[in-house]
Amino acid sequence: MIYCDVNKIAAGKIKKVFVKNIVLQILKYLRIKNANISVAIVSGADIKKLNKKYRVKNSITDVLSFCYCKKPLDGEIVICYSEALKQAKAKNHKLEQEIALLLAHSILHLIGYDHKNDREEAEMKKLEGIILSKIK
């Protein structure tokens, strides 16, 4: 069974149902049948606090992923609204596209992917592209 909860939206421009739908589509594409995912879209100040506390980095980041268990998949995704908006504008695409990309990126982290070196980063980016091309 898959459970997805969108528990906070920092700005009203992104709908909870959109976020939940994207998460469910990504999990379906990855053939993950048992998952408990929580998503929060927060302010820059909020994500900066979390980044400092959990990664010892005193800066704003676009997304944080917290994996509590891999099987069944249990995790939390925290997205910074202002960073997502800034990145969408820089890439000249819609905010929803950036949110979908950040969700795909985070879910890949939750299942064990990382980007500590060029090879891993290339593999993650390729998978993100494939996922985004398959979901609506």
Query: CA-to-CA distance for 53 and 72, rounded, in angstroms?
Result: 26
- Residues 21 and 31: their CA atoms lie apart, in Å, by 15
Number of Cβ within a 10 Å radius of residue 107: 26
Q: Measure the CA–CA gap between 86 and 75, rounded to whole angstroms.
A: 25
pLDDT per residue of the chain (136 residues) written in tens, 0 to 9? 888 888 877 767 788 899 999 999 999 999 999 999 999 999 999 999 999 999 999 999 999 999 999 889 999 999 999 999 999 999 999 999 999 999 999 999 999 999 889 999 999 999 999 999 998 7
CATH hierarchy code of domain 2-134: 3.40.390.30
Joined tokens for residue 128: 């993100």
Domain-wise residue ranges, the chain = 2-134
CA distance linking residue 125 with residue 131, whole number of Å: 10
pTM for this entry: 0.94
Q: Which helix (H) or strand (E) holds 35?
A: strand 35-42
